Structure 1
Amino acid sequence: MTHVMTDKPRSTVHIRVNYADVDRMGLLHHSVYLKYMERTREEFIRRRNGAYAAMEDAGMLIVVVEANLKYKRPARFDDVLAITLELYEVGAASLRIAYEVRRVGEDDPIATATTRHALVSREGRALRLTEEIRALLARDEVVSRHGELG
């Protein structure tokens, strides 16, 4: 059973574009957007007093099974990006997340994306989301990070 979240949990992370992440044209390489989104997901869990490592130690892995990314305008070296994650759908064993990437101080997104995730065991078998994980995902942010992730 899929549940579309009405009170969608959100999190915004600031990441500065490093020189190593740009291509020869000076633009953020297209593959790096997904890496930045993964860092935003990690921070989303961390800010709710969760830890990916603890989930993995318990044998629960959250894997990406689908990623859709739309580039609207380029990001460049030294830009500070605000990446906002919104958890918008929780299924029995899956999650759907939407993202907007903006330069800090600008309103228009430079990229938008969605990802779909499945919860699986170390052997790759589908697992149902536990009540503990559902409660963690629905929590308000309890740990606030200031500054940017570099």
Structure 2
Amino acid sequence: MPESSDMPFRFRFRVRYGECDAQSVVFNARYADFVDIAVNEYIRVLFGDYQNLLDQDLDIQVVSLTINWKAPARFDDVLEARIRTGRIGRTSFTLHLEFYRFADGQFIADADITDVMIQPSMMEKVVIPDRIRALLEAGAPGVLLSHAGEQQPDFRTG
């Protein structure tokens, strides 16, 4: 898959044994974890260390999460989450995620997550600052982060 600016932000991770159910597929509730992990990596790329938001008395809180499953993922599959910023409102924004199995490109699931911008000191929602809005609008096209180890050499073959 080419690294290019027309590709969305991509995050790869490996399915762990404990994330699977008795049917030997990823348990449906684990996809919320997958969304959270992928979104945190996306936010880190956009805004830097998460503490940068908190230092500005800003934070985000999930207000909606919708997941649609298309095919099963199994233990040891490498999944690739692709993230694009969707709608940006006055106080909230939506991110769209698509999950693919890296080995064969199988579309596994998609999700939409909506977060509201808050001021933690007051625990109230606030207008998304212009600088944050600009970062969300720009996104992180072509960026690939991997926690999967899928590009490691096979030491068995010497």
TM-score after normalising by structure 1: 0.82
Picking from 82, 85, 88, the partner of 2:83 is 85
Alignment of 1:26-105 (within 5 A): 26-48=24-46, 50-105=48-103
TM-score after normalising by structure 2: 0.78
Aligned to 1:4: none
Aligned to 1:132: 131
Unpaired runs of 5+ residues, structure 1, are 1-7
Give the Cα–Cα distance (whole angstroms) in 2 for the partners of residues 40 and 80 of structure 1: 13
Picking from 87, 107, 110, the partner of 2:108 is 110
Give the Cα–Cα distance (whole angstroms) in 2 for the partners of residues 141 and 68 of structure 1: 22
Task: Give the secondary structure class of the aligned counterpart of 1:28.
Answer: coil
Task: Give the secondary structure class of the aligned counterpart of 2:29.
Answer: helix
Task: Give the secondary structure class of the aligned counterpart of 2:57.
Answer: coil
C-alpha deviation, 1:58, in angstroms: 2.3
Preserved contact between residue 64 and residue 114 of structure 2 (Cα < 8 Å): yes
Preserved contact between residue 9 and residue 87 of structure 1 (Cα < 8 Å): no
Give the Cα–Cα distance (whole angstroms) in 1 for the partners of residues 7 and 53 of structure 2: 19
Amino acid at match of 1:81: L
How big is the alpha-carbon RMSD for the aligned residues of Structure 1 and Structure 2?
A: 2.5
Unpaired runs of 5+ residues, structure 2, are 1-5, 150-158
